[in-house]
Amino acid sequence: MKKNILVTYAPGEEERDIYREVLEDIANVHCLAGKTGNERIELLNGAEVVIALSFSQKEIDPTEIPRLENMRFVQLIYAGADNIPFVHISADITLASNAGAFAEPIAEHVLALTLALAKNLFPKYKLLCDGRFDRSGFNRKLRDGICGIIGFGGNGRKIAAIMRAMGMQVYGINRSGKTEAPVDFIGNVTDMKKVLQAADVVVVTPPLTRETRNLLGKKELTWMKPDAILINVGRGDVINQEALYTHLASNPDFRAGIDTWWSEPTGTEAFNLDYPFFDLPNIIGSPHVADHVPLSIPDGTRMALENVRNFLMGKDIRGVLNRNDYLD
């Protein structure tokens, strides 16, 4: 008998084709977006698997979760799981993120931010715009340097590959302190000081969990080299906002490239931070677009749906979340 799958968002035409291709033979797929009244209630009551972008309140209201009485599995299209209201979801429900699904474009974005900072592209360009042809000072090269990757998972492995191609050594930090990827050093959080002290470039990739919130604060930033480059493509709150602002303001040779921010507006809302980062010359950023390339959503959708298919077929699945990482 086919299982009932509930999709909390409105997939695009290309994604709908992937849903049909991957799941049509074993599941009935229903979309919740736009449904109201009894029809919405019936879909919630009958769902055995839920597929969500990030399980945000815009997709499904927390008050509706008790209606998911038959739900056995939740699959995210996105990698981040910090929107999931774990406290409202039964402990016997399996939840999986789509970790690593967007690793290739994210790795390229990390390289772009790193090179822009290392080569002083933005400051020199601004001087050119003002009519100043300033050739003073030196750029930095990446070759023979060390790239430290905090959060050495799916994204971290792709970032490592692209940095090794640039001629850098790679030091990684993950929970297990182990990896099969080619690295020059791998450790766990107890090795954080060693990695931060050694690295010329530090890339932050972890999801936001109870353990990773404020993982890099004042103390950790002081461990880093005075002219280090810090890149964040994980979650904003993995780095303490006040500590980073103070460190950048006090250390002009230290540089940061940020794609994931502490507060990210939706729609036409204004973008505001607690500190005037953009008055500083040693930071550049992008509006959380590291994974925004053609086919990223279709490709990520396919990976997520294949995971759902594996779950329904009783096969091994990837990205299983530990709710204890997110609950206080």
Beta-bridge mates of residue 96: 75, 320
From first to last of the 328 residues of the chain, give the pLDDT tens digit.
899 999 999 999 999 999 999 999 999 999 999 999 999 999 999 999 999 999 998 999 999 999 999 999 999 999 999 999 999 999 999 999 999 999 999 999 999 999 999 999 999 999 999 999 999 999 999 999 999 999 999 999 999 999 999 999 999 999 999 999 999 999 999 999 999 999 999 999 999 999 999 999 999 999 999 999 999 999 999 999 999 999 999 999 999 999 999 999 987 889 999 999 999 999 999 999 999 999 999 999 999 999 999 999 999 999 999 999 998 7
For residue 201 the two structure tokens come to 């470039």
CATH topology of domain 3-100+295-325: Rossmann fold (3.40.50)
CATH number 3.40.50.720 is the correct assignment for the domain at 103-285: yes
Burial 29-40 (b: 16+ CB within 10 A, else e): bbbbeeeeeeeb
Give Cα separations from 102 to 1, 17, 160, 294, 296 (angstroms).
33, 20, 15, 11, 7
Contact between 45 and 66 (Cβ < 8 Å): no
Neighbour tally for 70: CB within 10 Å: 14
C-alpha span between 242 and 223 (Å, rounded)? 17
Distance CA 52, CA 32 (A): 10
Instruction: Kindly provide the b/e burial profile for residues 71-81, where b requires at least 16 CB atoms within 10 angstroms of the residue's own CB.
Output: bbbbbbbbbbb
Q: How far apart are CA 315 and CA 254, in angstroms?
A: 47
Domain limits, CATH 3.40.50.720, in the chain: 3-100+295-325, 103-285
- Model's pTM, two decimal places? 0.94
